[in-house]
Amino acid sequence: MPIDIEISEVGPRDGLQSLSDIMPTEAKMAWIKAQHEAGTPEIEVGSFVPPKLLPQLADTPELVAFATKLEGLTVAALVPNLRGLEGAVASGAHKVSLPFSMSETHSLRNLKKDHTQMREEIQRCLSYLETIPVDRRPKFEVGLATAFGCTIEGDVPESRVIAIAEELVRMGVDEVGLSDTTGMGNPAQLKRVATGIWEHCGRDKLTGVHLHNTRGQGLANALMAVEIGIHTIDSSLGGIGGCPWAPGASGNIVTEDLVFLLESMGLNTGIDLEALIAVRDIVSAALPNAELYGFTPAAGIPLHYEVARRTSKEALSE
């Protein structure tokens, strides 16, 4: 059955980068394998950043090499610059995302580059990718970080986000992604920004969103994304994660709650919810000090879940 909404699991990257404890590589592999077996179609397994900056993600090359052997899994990784991109290509990643903060202050703190320098770095990445054979060239996405507001600067004009997206598409990036790094976004804002980008860049240049639940609006924003036609939504098992360089920006959408919401509505994610919840045991065993969130795992899967899914699917098909 074709997938209606693709869920991209970002816990092994966005989740682990904000924890002080380091998860053993073997446990990460077990997590990735179990979540793949539960039906997750895409997993962001790590980030190609210097180990001295994020020792939690120092084993990313090993994880990419491992994950690319799992049949049918799209293996994604974050890269901050050309050097990171080179590492991702060498490891065999299928998809890479480079964060470009719409807040210049956040950009300077996060990647130590202003907007002009970021444009230059992205151009270097694009020039490098042109030298890579098509069969080895990963999809290159630029994530529009702090697109809905910044904890340092405050307001981020929507016109700036749309204009930068249009510029990046002209430069040749495969796609841009909308990222609510600080959890400030609301559904009406998401709709305005997404439709603005589509009007200027084309619908195929924005298909995914990265949302945080910092202020409890994560699922509301995800629902709006689905309603307007976004195909891919990032989330994190147990809701772990956030941005270490954006104060207060904790809390990704909980993958388990997102799957329950979408499947109950009759939308196919391809994910077995019961098997997904069981993956939490691997994470909690390896990270006993980490708090895992999620209303669905806490309350349990309701008895009528399958009936609700079937009823909703039938209603959608009418």
Residues annotated as part of the active site: 243
Angle at 298 between CA 294 and CA 299, to 5 degrees: 115
Q: Indicate the angle between helix axes 187-201 and 218-228, nearest 10 degrees.
A: 40
Any alpha helices (H) in 11-59, and if so which ranges? 25-37
Cα separations in angstroms, 317 against 33, 202, 266, 267, 309: 33, 27, 9, 11, 12
Tokens of 182: 């600080």
Q: Report the 10 Å Cβ neighbour count for 273.
A: 21
Rounded Cα distance between 28 and 26, Å, is: 5
Q: Which amino acid is at 284?
A: S
Provide the sign of the torsion angle of the four alpha carbons 54, 138, 175, 131, taken in this order: positive
